[in-house]
Structure 1
Amino acid sequence: MNPARIARFGDSERYFICPICHDTLHLDGTSLRCANRHTFDIAKQGYVNLMPAAKQSPFYNSESFANRARILEAGYYDHIRDAVLDTIQRHIGVPADMGLAGLRGDARPAILDVGCGEGFYSRAVQRANPQADLLAFDISKDSIQQAAREDSSMAVRWFVGNLADLPVRSHAIDCMLDIFSPVNSEEFHRVMKDDAIVIKAVPGVHHDEQLRELARKQLRNTDYSNEQIIKQFGEHFDVLETSTVSRTFTMPPDDLRTFAHMTPLLFHVDIDALDLTQISALTIEARIIVARK
């Protein structure tokens, strides 16, 4: 195995705890191991499975993540990615030419990407902030395998994990990223430092509206809103700001079909029954919320 794929876990005791007994995990050869000898091997792709019994949704498999990667690599979510990067920079409060190096003196700040999927945002954040320690997890082994395989930096600490019981030390994280993923406020509070921030993105009200209108007869709720999710988030965190980023793209038929198959908003829709030729453009929109404990 490439030594760099292992080296990123060299200081695992700073961040990781055993998912079985919650004791500290240390790098031991090519594995993470706790004092009780629970052992988790580092896979050849460069990730560690800290949720061996994980059961992923049938909607999130290698095919769906490959579809997501195609859409992301085509640039349709670049405006959301750039807004997230800008938000990290502004709220951590370090000059752009310093990256994150000055956040905590000589300590490397830690960013945790929650439900990172195929790693699109994690890799972008790591490239923009090489001085930070970036941890990224998903419950889907397929997605983490893909994310680690495509990480040319070999710097992100990829792991399979459970949002309900994060294998992460308490008060270890400076910045939580939650991009289109669920929130577990209790676990977020536990792993966050006292002055840490959360950056959360949810689909905007106009997100996928052209596809949703086409699939109206198959959708349970034709009116789409994340206001209840935003309200609940605000009950557990001190919201500092919210913003909306939105772009409407002219999209070729192949990309549109790929998008329709990968978006969670249409998971319960018969895509083949839709006449996608009626759509030539698609809106991709997100609400970005910044909050503290």
Structure 2
Amino acid sequence: MSKNENNLERFQLLAQHEHVFACPLCFNPLKVIAYKSFVCSSGHCFDFAKQGYVNLLTRPYQTKYDTSLFAARQHMNAIGFFEPLISRISESILRLMQPHHESLRILDAGCGEGSHLKSIQNQIRERAKIAPLGVGLDLSKEGIKMAARGTSNAIWCVADLARCPVMERSFSVILNLLSPSNYAEFHRIMADDGIVIKVIPESDYLQEVRAALNPNASRKTYSNEKIRELFKRHFALLEMERVAYRIALKKEQLHHLVQMTPLSWGASESLVQQWMNQEQAEITVDFSIMYGKKR
């Protein structure tokens, strides 16, 4: 399939599900016009990008996340770095959302370059023989451009989580993986029988990287208690689980690991180079997953 054919297919998918989307300025419904633009009844217009995504920001934003970070994260996802986490989430979605499998709509709030959402969609498709709609939102245009490459049953939008450009109660699953949250918006856009899934790093996450690149910071006590309490103030906690494992990485993979994490931003160049020059290393991966629903 050519790039133009893939983009047409993406915009056809967008037209098929246009009723899910709302204007980020006035929150009136958006309509697809000639597979070229989103237009609301107030006349606000958002053109589709030739790369296969739609920019629904009301003003430009600058983020610290660049193409090299997203490419590194995509590479780490491809080698299975996040596989145990993705597998657990996919299993839990199918278990918790019975009997609503056929109508699953998943929104990834803070999707980055889209690899987590794509992997979860693929696993659900393989396990349950269904194809849930996926919508990925992120402030970073570079991340969304990368997400829109290739084929998938997903719609990619540059958007602000503080003004999610989707209709009320339109998603059965809200994903929020290692990303900032806007719980008021999550509550607004989540279906009454839906779930929100938040993933946060735990105390041992990338402890080897932290110890090497920020030796003083690594000695500080790490706690997610405030994040957990904030989540529980907004949603009824269905369950919480910890996913921890170790993975062996080779030199090239260690290079990508450093590139994908902000842990290297404050580190000296000598420490970063010393870390990346290792031939291999065992890395600790440590997450908590919280599953919530409306009260």
Q: How many residue pairs get matched?
A: 280
Q: What's the counterpart of residue 202 of structure 1?
A: 200
Task: Decide which of 104, 119, 124 is 2:119's aligned counterpart.
Answer: 124
Q: What's the counterpart of residue 22 of structure 2?
A: 17
Q: What's the counterpart of residue 68 of structure 1?
A: 73
Q: Compared with structure 1, are the counterparts of its residues 12 and 266 closer, same or farther at alpha carbon in structure 2 (3 Å cutoff)?
A: same
CA-CA distance at 1:265 after TM superposition: 3.5
Kept after mapping to 2: 8 A contact 1:200/1:288: yes
Amino acid at match of 2:39: R
CA distance in 1 between counterparts of 2:230 and 2:264 reads 24
Kept after mapping to 1: 8 A contact 2:108/2:174: yes
Q: What's the counterpart of residue 100 of structure 1?
A: 101
Kept after mapping to 1: 8 A contact 2:48/2:55: yes
CA distance in 2 between counterparts of 1:115 and 1:220 reads 26
Is residue 34 from structure 1 mapped to residue 25 from structure 2 by the alignment? no
Kept after mapping to 1: 8 A contact 2:250/2:279: no
CA distance in 1 between counterparts of 2:63 and 2:168 reads 28
Please, what is the CA RMSD of the aligned residues?
Answer: 2.0
In structure 2, stretches of 5+ residues that fail to align are none
Q: Compared with structure 1, are the counterparts of its residues 226 and 54 closer, same or farther at alpha carbon in structure 2 (3 Å cutoff)?
A: farther
Q: What's the counterpart of residue 247 of structure 1?
A: 245
Q: What's the counterpart of residue 105 of structure 1?
A: none
Q: Percent identity, aligned pairs only? A: 31
Once the two structures are superposed, residues 45-91 of structure 1 have per-residue CA deviations (whole angstroms, 9 ceiling, x without a partner) of: 22100015231322x01111011111111111111111111111111
Amino acid at match of 2:104: P
Secondary structure of 1:149's aligned partner: coil
Q: What's the counterpart of residue 236 of structure 2?
A: 238
* Mapping of residues 118-157 of structure 1, within 5 Å: 118-127=113-122, 128-129=124-125, 130-150=130-150, 152-153=151-152, 155-157=153-155
Once the two structures are superposed, residues 180-238 of structure 1 have per-residue CA deviations (whole angstroms, 9 ceiling, x without a partner) of: 11111111111112221111111122110111122343538733332221121111110
CA distance in 2 between counterparts of 1:90 and 1:56 reads 38
In structure 1, stretches of 5+ residues that fail to align are 102-107
Structure (1/2) with the larger helix percentage: 2
Amino acid at match of 2:156: W
Secondary structure of 2:23's aligned partner: coil
CA distance in 2 between counterparts of 1:45 and 1:191 reads 27
Is residue 292 from structure 1 mapped to residue 293 from structure 2 by the alignment? yes
CA distance in 1 between counterparts of 2:186 and 2:262 reads 23
Q: Compared with structure 1, are the counterparts of its residues 10 and 26 closer, same or farther at alpha carbon in structure 2 (3 Å cutoff)?
A: same
CA-CA distance at 1:36 after TM superposition: 2.0
CA distance in 1 between counterparts of 2:166 and 2:53 reads 15
Amino acid at match of 1:18: C
Kept after mapping to 1: 8 A contact 2:52/2:148: yes
Q: Compared with structure 1, are the counterparts of its residues 221 and 34 closer, same or farther at alpha carbon in structure 2 (3 Å cutoff)?
A: farther
Amino acid at match of 2:44: H
Q: Compared with structure 1, are the counterparts of its residues 282 and 50 closer, same or farther at alpha carbon in structure 2 (3 Å cutoff)?
A: same
Amino acid at match of 1:40: F
Q: Compared with structure 1, are the counterparts of its residues 197 and 120 closer, same or farther at alpha carbon in structure 2 (3 Å cutoff)?
A: same
Q: Compared with structure 1, are the counterparts of its residues 224 and 92 closer, same or farther at alpha carbon in structure 2 (3 Å cutoff)?
A: same
Moved more, 230-239 or 127-136: 127-136
Secondary structure of 1:111's aligned partner: strand
Task: Decide which of 146, 170, 179 is 2:177's aligned counterpart.
Answer: 179
Give the structure-1-normalised TM-score. 0.89
Task: Decide which of 41, 44, 60 is 1:54's aligned counterpart.
Answer: 60
Secondary structure of 1:145's aligned partner: helix
Amino acid at match of 2:133: D
Q: What's the counterpart of residue 45 of structure 1?
A: 51
Q: What's the counterpart of residue 109 of structure 1?
A: 104
CA-CA distance at 1:273 after TM superposition: 2.2
Give the structure-2-normalised TM-score. 0.88
Q: What's the counterpart of residue 283 of structure 2?
A: 282
Q: What's the counterpart of residue 80 of structure 1?
A: 85
CA-CA distance at 1:266 after TM superposition: 3.6
Q: What's the counterpart of residue 104 of structure 1?
A: none
